[in-house]
């Protein structure tokens, strides 16, 4: 014990020696790490063990308050009362707008500071009320069947890194502030992108190239460029070791190669996976698991295994010096957050900003930028004289718009509400193609099938959705063998009768966060445990859309989902398709603004929309070949980076001038619009490498009929490439192709040769 204390108090002793004054952790003028070292020297082993648990208890004799490290802010301050709900991250990624995303998360951290202050004033800061937020999720959205991919910023490592760094900057605040505004957390480290059903036992095996080229770059960006203060390890194993116990990931790469000095935290109840039956089972007991995680540098556990730390030390399985090393980092960050002293530069923020007008306007603006127009035969924007009907399961579903890991706002504008504001004679047929899981809310996605409803439940559904009870009962009686979890359109002829005289049907379809998400006990056709087994629209929706088309109706599909959907039939039955994702509390207004042309769509896909699952490799194959636009060699339905506008853009011949490329972009239409200029790189002599890979993008607004020049630097990072000798991504000299245009599709790109 004496050796441990002396070792870890070196910093405090050195400060006292040079400053010629005694050191006290209560002295606010001292650096946080010096205060932390002094405080550490005063703690017992049991107190130390308690302080590295996520729900750390107070040490009243030393004035240490209770603190819970677990807070969520995926797209708004979550699980902590009402707050502004911004679009789901996969939707924000469609904006390719780093500045707007940083602005969003600045608003989020402002609301977080207000909520934390109010909780502290009440006398007790509970879980989800702290300042350490376990976001962003920068795992690669490798396969559209992964249920949590909607929490990420897409399938491209460069885009993920750029947008992830914007999240970190917004949450953590000014880097030169003496008090840190909040913590962001890069998760889940590493090589994690599904399936939810096997994450507690899966062993991810990938080549060193795939690891360094695809799975790690965003984490490296957040650590080395954005100074992210927390990294969360993943549930899965990597090359045999659970990620939290992986020396290669945590000690060699994260802390060694990248020089990371922040906190490493576990995913929740991931450490018990070390020993629990049917999970990783790499050790026999909880004491061994705690010792292994602490020794490997895990600073904070979300779970219950670290209560065994004292036993691990006393039995000789763990050196207390390793615990002290970790706890010194933990205490330092508590001082840096101002949490120990109870004061910060943001104490003056007014509580009215939480879900206030300014932040709701920002949510609306972000939602507008997130919309991706996938198809338009000229029907959009609406002229204002059409007879319009709104049909479909997502027409008036506020909870669906909130996504997952979400706040609960005081107000939400659904698509129905937004269209009713604009279209006084709107025809709304709300009982068509509704999924029965949307009738029966319950925790963690447990939803009663319509087949199992009581008479009272059926009557409630009938009243809510204007469906006849007998119609439902007849369906149950006649279609028991179709226990497929969906309530089909009840009578397509009756629906069409209600739509007589209607010119255009806006079909609010897609899926719901009730079906896709984290480890959900959902078993329905196309869905399993929160993941997807196929990528098609629910059959009930597909049939009804086809019937509408065959009846001569113009159909505009507004597709809500957190993942890519296989929309091949809909490209034939729909006149327009708008990908809306889960657009947040202002989503209905944003969609209406696009449909009526008040806003020109500018979003681009951050993921590939495949035609069907036949184009995908095995979902458990983590090797990148065949996955994402970078290694997919077929023809997708809609490529990464694709998105239509209400105007058109033409790219001129780019010129390389020194260490930059200048790209002329002309708006050839009659409306001002925003284009997302994309620069890809290809190395022709590397047949094993990516088909192309994104290296830069710019959002640029171009007035109708005018041309702007977009300048993109060509630096060493532009030419980061896999090097066999280095076994890493480094600037590699040689011949490259620069591909530029409005999407990743070859037909949309122009090419110039470049020698680096």
Residue 190 DSSP code:
S
Residues in the chain, how many? 756
Residue given tokens 């509704």 in the structure block: 434
What are 357's two structure tokens?
A: 């007008």
Q: Which of 221, 320, 324, 516 is catalytic?
A: 516
Q: What are the C-alpha distances in Å from 286 to residues 308, 309, 573, 618? A: 7, 9, 57, 34
Q: How many CB atoms lie within 10 A of CB 733?
A: 9
What are 456's two structure tokens?
A: 């009272």
Greatest alpha-carbon pair distance for the chain in Å reads 89
CA-to-CA distance for 679 and 48, rounded, in angstroms?
Answer: 50
**Has 685 been annotated as catalytic?**
no
Mark residue 455 as left, alpha or beta (left: phi above 0; alpha: psi -120 to 50; beta: remaining): alpha
Nearest to 517, CA basis, from 485, 562, 560, 486 = 562
**Has 267 been annotated as catalytic?**
yes
Q: Which of 241, 267, 397, 531 is catalytic?
A: 267
Q: Is 204 helix (H, G, I), strand (E, B) or coil?
A: strand
Residue 72 DSSP code:
B
Detail the DSSP E strand segments found in 647-692: 649-651, 655-656, 660-667, 673-682
What are 320's two structure tokens?
A: 């207390």
Q: What are the C-alpha distances in Å from 315 to residues 5, 43, 273, 320, 716? A: 19, 20, 22, 11, 51
Angle of helix 98-122 versus helix 357-370 axis, rounded to 10:
140
Long-range contacts at 19-27 (CB < 8 A, ≥ 24 apart) = 25/62, 26/63
Residues 6+ apart with CB under 8 A from 86: 75, 76, 92, 104, 108, 362, 363, 366, 367, 584
Q: What are the C-alpha distances in Å from 261 to residues 10, 190, 360, 439, 678? A: 18, 18, 36, 48, 34
733, 724 Cβ separation under 8 angstroms: no
Q: Is 265 helix (H, G, I), strand (E, B) or coil?
A: strand
CA-to-CA distance for 672 and 260, rounded, in angstroms?
Answer: 45
CA-to-CA distance for 659 and 563, rounded, in angstroms?
Answer: 37
Q: What share of the chain is helix, strand, coil (3-state, %, to 5)?
A: 35, 20, 45
Catalytic sites, residue numbers: 267, 516
């Amino acid at each position: 014990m004496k050796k441990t204390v002396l070792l870890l108090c070196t910093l405090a002793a050195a400060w006292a020696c040079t400053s010629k004054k005694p050191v006290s952790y209560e002295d606010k003028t001292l650096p946080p790490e010096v205060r932390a070292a002094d405080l550490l020297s005063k703690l017992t082993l049991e107190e130390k063990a308690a302080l590295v648990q996520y729900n750390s208890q107070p040490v009243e004799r030393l004035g240490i308050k209770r603190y819970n490290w677990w807070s969520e802010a995926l797209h708004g301050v979550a699980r902590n009362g009402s707050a502004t709900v911004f679009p789901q991250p996969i939707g924000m990624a469609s904006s390719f707008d780093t500045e707007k995303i940083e602005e969003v998360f600045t608003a989020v951290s402002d609301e977080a500071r207000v909520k934390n202050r109010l909780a502290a004033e009440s006398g007790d800061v509970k879980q989800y009320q702290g300042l350490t937020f376990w976001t962003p999720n920068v795992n690669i959205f490798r396969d559209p069947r992964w249920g949590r991919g909607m929490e990420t910023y897409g399938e491209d490592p460069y885009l993920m890194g750029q947008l992830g760094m914007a999240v970190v900057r917004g949450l953590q605040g000014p880097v030169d502030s003496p008090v840190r505004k909040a913590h962001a957390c890069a998760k889940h480290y590493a090589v994690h992108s599904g399936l939810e059903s096997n994450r507690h036992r899966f062993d991810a095996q990938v080549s060193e190239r795939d690891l360094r080229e695809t799975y790690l770059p965003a984490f490296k960006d957040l650590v080395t460029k954005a100074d992210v203060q927390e990294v969360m390890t993943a549930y899965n194993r990597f090359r045999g070791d659970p990620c939290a116990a992986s020396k290669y990931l945590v000690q060699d790469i994260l802390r060694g190669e990248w020089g990371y000095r922040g906190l490493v935290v576990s995913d929740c109840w991931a450490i018990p996976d070390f020993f629990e039956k049917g999970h990783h089972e790499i050790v026999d007991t909880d004491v061994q698991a705690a010792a292994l995680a602490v020794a490997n540098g895990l600073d904070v556990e979300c779970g219950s295994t670290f209560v065994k730390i004292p036993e691990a030390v006393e039995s000789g399985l763990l050196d207390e010096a390793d615990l002290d090393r970790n706890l010194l980092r933990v205490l330092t960050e508590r001082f840096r957050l101002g949490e120990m002293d109870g004061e910060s530069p943001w104490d003056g923020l007014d509580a009215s900003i939480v879900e206030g007008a300014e932040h709701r306007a920002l949510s609306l603006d972000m939602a507008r930028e997130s919309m991706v127009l996938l198809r338009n035969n000229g029907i959009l924007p609406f002229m204002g004289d059409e007879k319009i009907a709104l049909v479909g399961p997502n027409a008036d579903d506020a909870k669906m718009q909130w996504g997952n890991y979400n706040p609960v706002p005081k107000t939400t504008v659904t698509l129905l509400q937004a269209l009713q504001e604009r279209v006084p004679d709107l025809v709304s047929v709300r009982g068509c193609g509704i999924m029965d899981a949307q009738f029966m809310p319950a925790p963690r996605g447990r939803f009663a099938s319509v087949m199992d409803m009581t008479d009272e439940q059926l009557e409630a559904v009938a009243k809510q959705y204007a469906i006849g009870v007998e119609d439902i009962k007849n369906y149950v009686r006649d279609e028991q063998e179709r226990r497929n979890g969906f309530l089909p359109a009840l009578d397509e002829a009756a629906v069409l009768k209600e739509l007589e005289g209607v010119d255009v049907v806006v079909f609010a379809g897609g899926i719901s966060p009730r079906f896709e998400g984290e480890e959900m006990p959902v078993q329905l056709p196309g869905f399993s445990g929160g993941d997807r087994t196929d990528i098609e629209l629910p059959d009930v929706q597909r049939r009804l859309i086809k019937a509408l088309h065959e009846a001569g109706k113009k159909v505009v599909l507004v597709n809500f989902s957190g993942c890519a959907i296989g929309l091949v039939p809909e490209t034939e039955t729909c006149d327009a398709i708008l990908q809306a994702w889960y657009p947040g509390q202002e989503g209905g207004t944003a969609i209406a603004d696009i449909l009526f042309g008040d806003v020109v769509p500018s979003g681009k896909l951050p993921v590939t929309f495949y035609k069907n699952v036949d184009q995908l490799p095995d979902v458990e194959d983590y090797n990148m070949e065949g996955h994402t636009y970078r290694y997919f060699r077929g023809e997708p339905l809609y490529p990464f980076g694709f998105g239509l506008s209400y105007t058109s853009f033409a790219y001129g011949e780019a010129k390389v001038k020194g260490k930059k490329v200048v790209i002329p972009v002309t708006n050839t239409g009659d409306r001002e619009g925003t284009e997302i200029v994309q620069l890809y790189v290809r190395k022709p002599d590397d047949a094993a490498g990516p088909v192309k890979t994104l290296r830069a993008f710019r959002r640029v607004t171009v007035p109708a009929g005018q041309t702007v020049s977009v300048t993109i630097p060509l630096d060493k990072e532009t030419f980061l490439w896999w090097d066999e000798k280095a076994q890493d991504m480094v600037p590699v000299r040689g011949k490259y192709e620069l591909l530029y245009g409005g999407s990743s599709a070859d037909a949309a790109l122009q090419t110039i040769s470049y020698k680096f």
